[in-house]
Structure 1
Amino acid sequence: MGEALSTFYSKGNLNTMKNVTLYHHGPSTCSQKVRIILELKNISYESKIIDLLAGEQHAPEYVKLNPNHLVPTLVTDDGVLIESSVINEYLDDNFPGIPAKPSDPFNIAKMRLWVKYIDVYHPQCGSITYGIGMRNILIQKPKDELDQEIASIPDLIKRKNRRDLVDMGLDAPVLIEALKQTEVLLDKLEQELENSDWLFNNSFGIADAATLPYIIRMEQLALGELFSSTKRPNINNWYERIKNMDIFENAVTSYIPEALIGVLTKFGNDQKDKIFKIMEKK
């Protein structure tokens, strides 16, 4: 998997566990979720970067760890874990010093329902990312290489959706539906934050970490006005609070190349009028 896979990154923090290793990709939304909780709980870990654009998630030695060809993957003395939502609860249970879950059972249940909803939304964000942004990078690859990369996606539905997004861009039905579902997500989030600074907790926690990467991605794609101070002030205030926290720099911005953000923002700006017209249709 090349030198990128062997990149080592150790956090000298308060909590320690031997042999905690995170396989992840800097801009990946699900990787961000886990890095945020690792930072929040001051957990030392070894970082191994998987270059998704280079196809390292399909390398045989990585697929042995994650048969879904996805990031993140967490390896500890207990074994291997995949799926960011599962990983984050595991981390909170094993490092209770800085709680990331609510203290009462009812709010824990509400948190889990919200995280489940976010997990269901996740493919919509992927459609938006590829249809608006990454498509314009992928189509620059040789056709044979791009076809092989798409064919390597193990899930048949995801493979078909990727093909449609690459071929059709904003006209892909899966992208049109994703934009509509994004409006639904933002309305739900705005409502949940109406009477609380954080999601189902007295402080930043797992539900916030699960949601944050999608707001970041919208901003990167020049869609930040969807949660402006006038359109959705609760989300705007929540996002500003998070950006002022150390974990935002340590777990998010330090891992995302400015050049990539610039490219995604340009692609978003170039297509913004059509994007908003799609979102206005009910």
Structure 2
Amino acid sequence: MDDSLRLFLDHLAVSGRSPHTLAAYRADIERLAALLGKPPRQATSTDLRKALAKLHAQGQNSRSLARRLSSWRQLYRWLQRNALREDDPSSGLRAPKRDKLLPKALPVDGAAALLDRIDGDSELDARDRAIYELIYSCGLRLSEAVSLNLDDIDFSDNLLRIRGKGSKERLAPIGAEAMARLRDWLRLRVAPSSENALFLGRHGRRLGGRQVEKRLRDWAIKTGASQHVHPHMLRHSFASHLLQSSGDLRAVQELLGHANLSSTQIYTALDFQHLAKVYDGAHPRARKDAKPDDEAE
């Protein structure tokens, strides 16, 4: 490592960076030097582009590449500020777009099994079944579910008024099961006349999001779920299952309250995964161990 790189790392240490951050910067810069085969101070933008390409070819994900490029940018800006280099070869470089993580959704039978087993006799059990059925039935965000009021339910038409992001309102149909569970909960709901919140905690005040998350996690454990379940997974399941059944992306967008169709399109990947599993399990020529017709018994 040449003197300029040591000075740069000393500068970071003096500026109060943590030992962990300093170690990451050092590793990123040493990696750059190894990829270049020459001091980073002498690199061109083409050299840096090739270095990123090599890391990508080695299997580094977009998050790691973005972090390394950020370290390199800090180095070249420091070199410029200290008159150790005239230009910034990292200017204009971009790391590959970050991989989009697919939302986790329960299978149809998994969602049904979980909700059907929330069947205790207490007031809180009835409330839990109602709120989780409603989230799954209407594709609610957690914040939307806990902000619901009594007058948001239209019992005559089985509709729910939802206040989404940016205070935008939308209407969603309430399924028969969710409506039945809502009626069960409202028969047991006890609160002062001034309390308009639909879902209440133990002390008769509006239910908080963390409690909804904790109760669902506990129910999932009790009912033997094979994975961690959180309220947003019920929203993802709603979108994925509706898309599998209808194929109507625009309708799913409206029901989810997405401003842009691109936000909804990620569920098409989930839908394709489902179709691919069905194909792999059912098509006689899909399995790798399938025998040719003339070898089949």
- Do they superpose with TM above 0.5? no
TM-score range normalised by the length of the shorter chain? under 0.3
Relative contact order, higher structure (CA 8 A, sep 6+): 1
TM-score using structure 1 length:
0.25
In our comparison, the structure showing a higher alpha carbon Rg is 2
